[in-house]
Amino acid sequence: MSPDIFIIEKAKAAVSALYGADLPDASFQVQVTRKEFEGDYTLVVFPLLKVSRLSPEATGNAIGDWLKENTAEISAYNTVKGFLNLSFSNSYWAGLFSSIAAADDFGQLPPTGKTIMVEFSSPNTNKPLHLGHIRNNLLGWSVSRLLEANGHKVMKVNLVNDRGIHICKSMLAWLKTGNGETPESSGKKGDHLVGDYYVRFNEIYRQEVEELTAGGMSKEEAEKNAPSLKEAQNMLLKWEQGDSEVVALWKKMNSWVYAGFDKTYSDLGISFDRTYYESQTYLLGKALVQKGLDMGIFEKEADGSVWCDLTADGLDRKLLLRGDGTSVYITQDLGTAEQRFSEYRLDEHIYVVGNEQNYHFQVLKLILKKLGFDWADSIYHLSYGMVELPEGKMKSREGTVVDADDLLEKMYNTARETSLELGKIDNMTEQEQDELFRTLSLGALKYFIIKVDPKKTMLFDPKESIDFNGNTGPFIQYTHARIKSILRKASGRNISYDALPQGVELSPKEIRLVKLLDIFPGKIAEAGQAHSPAIVANYAYDLAKEFNQYYHDTIILKEEDEKLLQCRLLLLSSVAKVLVKAMDILGIKLPERM
């Protein structure tokens, strides 16, 4: 039982015995004692004055006296104004530590029966994944793992934007200039190859616009009438009509992109339970538009376009169908939301999308509510800020984005250089070194991005993220490797540490570690409620930092007292177990040795 729950139970008994009152748990506020006062946890007395009818100090002292006399786990107390500071006995902390060490899956919260869908990634098939996608994917994955740790059933889904004018532009440029080039013939990843042709289309398009404007056409007219754009639009129309040649080319080039995406996802350690494709969902929602017209909440204009007027709700008018009957992006989102809630009976649907789409999801939820869907309130937009680099753009294929594969390669090289400088891997094989560099590079990248609250814009510095000191992934990874090294040496000496020996006195530093271990399940719950894996990341750093201070000040393997040695080894094992669980939620592996 955690200390705060324990105190609430005992304080309720004290109030009942002293004042004959049976108060609800909400009347008992417990918090960690502030550092300037003596004590472990503090009971706020003010809400109890209505039944004690005494001063705050007198009420605190009366409850403190009762607790000390009737509760062996309470060793001392002091009252400061309306705050009762309580100190636990060493035996209490030993018992709590013993229960933590014995728990098979400490930190995993019990099943809730809730099903939550998390949609993330959602790339376009005309270019490779970039730095923005990395933050999106890492957030989506870690939030999914976090919700699983909170006892929910989670479905991780991806909606690939595989149709539209963007992919037709790449297809057209490949037909005009590709000469049959393939990923195999070029040696390029498929997503990079298709992205190159998207760039090439824009080069052709800009040249045509310049020629048209030089001939006297206005820039606006030239941009609308450039031959390549007309051809791309015609190709999209043919695709929607099912033209066999266009569809065959579309399938071929998208297959190249999917293979490229899969490689990047694999390198990141990302996977999905289900992938949706816009080509299969873009027509969903048209029936809902008709439903809205029948209900009188949508309006059809003279040109045939359909709108939802949200001005009375403080928003704008929103287009739902164009005059030619084609759908827009929100039409698809309306349809896929209905499909998913109907198919999976979701308790929550989380969309991991950048903060530039805040308005879109505000409109989506409002329209769904107007259509009569009560589950609209169960839609949650996990809005996150952009991620930038200190030098601006590290490398770009279009002059505007940082390529995800380039970043992963740079992270690997940085991890390799840093590890070689430290000179602690000479006894590793090349394969072991390669695995370590990948583990460190991914740990550095993931931790540096995830430790920042999702709502904040962040600055990503690859070199800083690899640092083995400070609030970084490699620091936590190194801490775990250090613990495992000590435990291996203990096993080599056949030292057993399966359970806490009887009668061991924990030091203040050991009690601080037990306190940190104890709050782990609470941090999981807090992070899940906030949809913020950053809370877990920073908890892991605090635990690693506290352990390193303990390790610096404490004898471990040279301890001569056998019971004390077993206690300390068990504490190390428990810290390692919690670090593994916390970092696993972030998608980060902890190496056994470094």
Query: What string of pLDDT tens digits covers the 594 residues of the chain?
Result: 789 999 999 999 999 999 999 999 999 999 999 989 999 999 999 999 999 999 999 999 999 999 999 999 999 999 999 999 999 999 999 999 999 999 989 999 999 999 999 999 999 999 899 888 999 999 999 999 999 999 999 999 999 999 889 999 999 999 999 999 999 999 999 999 999 999 999 999 999 999 999 999 999 999 999 999 999 999 999 998 999 999 999 999 999 999 999 999 999 999 999 999 999 988 889 999 999 999 999 999 999 999 999 999 999 999 999 998 888 889 999 999 999 999 999 999 999 999 999 999 999 999 999 999 999 999 999 999 988 777 654 443 444 568 899 989 999 998 999 888 877 787 889 999 999 999 999 999 999 999 999 999 888 877 788 777 889 999 999 999 999 999 999 999 999 899 999 989 999 999 999 999 999 999 999 999 999 999 999 999 999 999 999 999 999 999 889 999 999 999 999 999 999 999 999 999 999 988
Close Cβ partners of 234 (under 8 Å, ≥ 6 residues apart) = none
User: CA 549 to CA 170: how far, in whole Å?
Assistant: 56
For the chain, which residues make up each domain, given as ranges? Answer: 3-88, 164-269, 404-585
Question: What is the pTM assigned to this prediction?
Answer: 0.91
Quote the longest CA-to-CA distance of the chain. Answer: 97
Give domain 3-88's CATH number out of 3.90.920.20, 3.40.50.300, 3.30.470.20, 3.30.1360.70: 3.30.1360.70
How many CA atoms does the CB half-sphere of 547 hold within 13 Å? 30
User: CA 52 to CA 58: how far, in whole Å?
Assistant: 9
**Token match 């019971």: residue?**
563
Beta-sheet pairing, 306-309 with 317-321? antiparallel
Which residue, 265, 593, 591, 556, is CA-closest to 425?
A: 593
Q: Where are the beta strands (DSSP E) in 265-328?
A: 274-277, 299-300, 306-309, 317-321
**Token match 């992963």: residue?**
408
Which residue, 306, 302, 279, 276, is CA-closest to 292?
A: 306
| The CATH number of domain 404-585 is 1.10.730.10 | yes
User: CA 267 to CA 407: how far, in whole Å?
Assistant: 11
Which residue, 103, 104, 99, 61, is CA-closest to 83?
A: 61
CB atoms closer than 10 angstroms to residue 399:
7
Q: Cβ distance 510 to 550 under 8 Å?
A: yes
